[in-house]
Structure 1
């Protein structure tokens, strides 16, 4: 069977398209000490600018996971409903399975430092009078079958930090309640 020039061209375009799609550079977890347990007390650093959640232990950097957030500007949380991820020092106060996001680790937002920022901003008129500070900020997985949101930097949460579901499962197993979490821009 001979193929016409048009058929060959279409076949070439389809092959190039498939190769391009299959060669997509998915965001991957990076490990410093692969196949090694955490040593000592873990700490989490969330870097909003780099869209990363890094784990440190007593030996230093352990692993980095790709993450996404809420609102696209990546600004600091101002009030409930602004979809921004807060910046500051937090700790994990609870962990549990979640119907929508697989697993969830709740942070102690708002802290006294968050309340101080909120009151100062409100006094300056930066926050509308009818807006509260909010709560319920967490680290959690994506919606079922929606891990691509992380690969494509699609900020979709209401201010939480979101990982791919399988990566959230890993994090959930290794990070205890009480772990310190720093979120910065």
Structure 2
């Protein structure tokens, strides 16, 4: 075999190998990305923390700000409390007044029942969101509870959470 033919076969083989490996990488990339998606969100109000979970392990942990009146369960609209219980992240708002937001399915049937017993509205539109659109720097906002009952993170963090959390996963909010 001539040297030219041998070099051609080697180059053809290397090129083919690179093509096959690149194709496999492109095929596997979405699956690998899916491995990094959370399957549950856990918020611990007393710790001011939000954790993205996967198979019971913490993928990522964030410091959060809560409602202005954070202690106790949310019982009515306007009480400035962040709810406690099991909910779902059921839709997202890319045009939020707070950069991006993920809707929490509050109120659940128990919340509605409890509010009805008090003769009040349970409230609605509780979200995980970023900072108000007019702010770029979180400053002191991440060290104080400033929301009306939502769970706030920085804009960079909500962008990351947005990509790691699929719609429909459970969120457990603990005292």
Shared fold, TM over 0.5: yes
The CA RMSD over aligned residues, in Å, is 2.0
SS in 2 for 1:54: strand
Indicate conservation of the 8 Å contact 1:87/1:183, yes or no.
Answer: yes
Relative to structure 1, the CA distance from residue 59 to residue 145 in structure 2 (aligned partners, 3 Å threshold; closer, same or farther) is same
What is the aligned partner in structure 1 of residue 9 from structure 2?
none
Q: What displacement does 1:146 show?
A: 4.2
Q: What displacement does 1:160 show?
A: 0.5
Larger Cα Rg: Structure 1 or Structure 2? 2
2:139 matched to 1:148?
yes
Relative to structure 1, the CA distance from residue 59 to residue 80 in structure 2 (aligned partners, 3 Å threshold; closer, same or farther) is closer
Q: What displacement does 1:73 show?
A: 4.2
User: What is the TM-score when the length of structure 2 is the normalising length?
Assistant: 0.73
User: What is the TM-score when the length of structure 1 is the normalising length?
Assistant: 0.69
Q: What displacement does 1:94 show?
A: 0.5
2:93 matched to 1:104?
no
Deviations 1:29-71 (A, max 9, x none): xxxxxxx874575100000000000111026111110001112
Indicate conservation of the 8 Å contact 2:38/2:164, yes or no.
Answer: no
Relative to structure 1, the CA distance from residue 82 to residue 72 in structure 2 (aligned partners, 3 Å threshold; closer, same or farther) is closer
Unaligned runs of 5+ in 2: 1-32
Indicate conservation of the 8 Å contact 1:43/1:180, yes or no.
Answer: yes
What is the aligned partner in structure 1 of residue 111 from structure 2?
114
Deviations 1:101-152 (A, max 9, x none): 11000111111121233244x1xxxxxx4x3111111110012224124442
Deviations 1:138-184 (A, max 9, x none): 110012224124442x1111100000110000000110100100001
In 2: Cα distance, 1:95 partner to 1:140 partner = 10
What is the aligned partner in structure 1 of residue 156 from structure 2?
166
What is the aligned partner in structure 2 of residue 182 from structure 1?
172
In 2: Cα distance, 1:73 partner to 1:61 partner = 24
Count of aligned positions: 141
2:76 matched to 1:87?
no
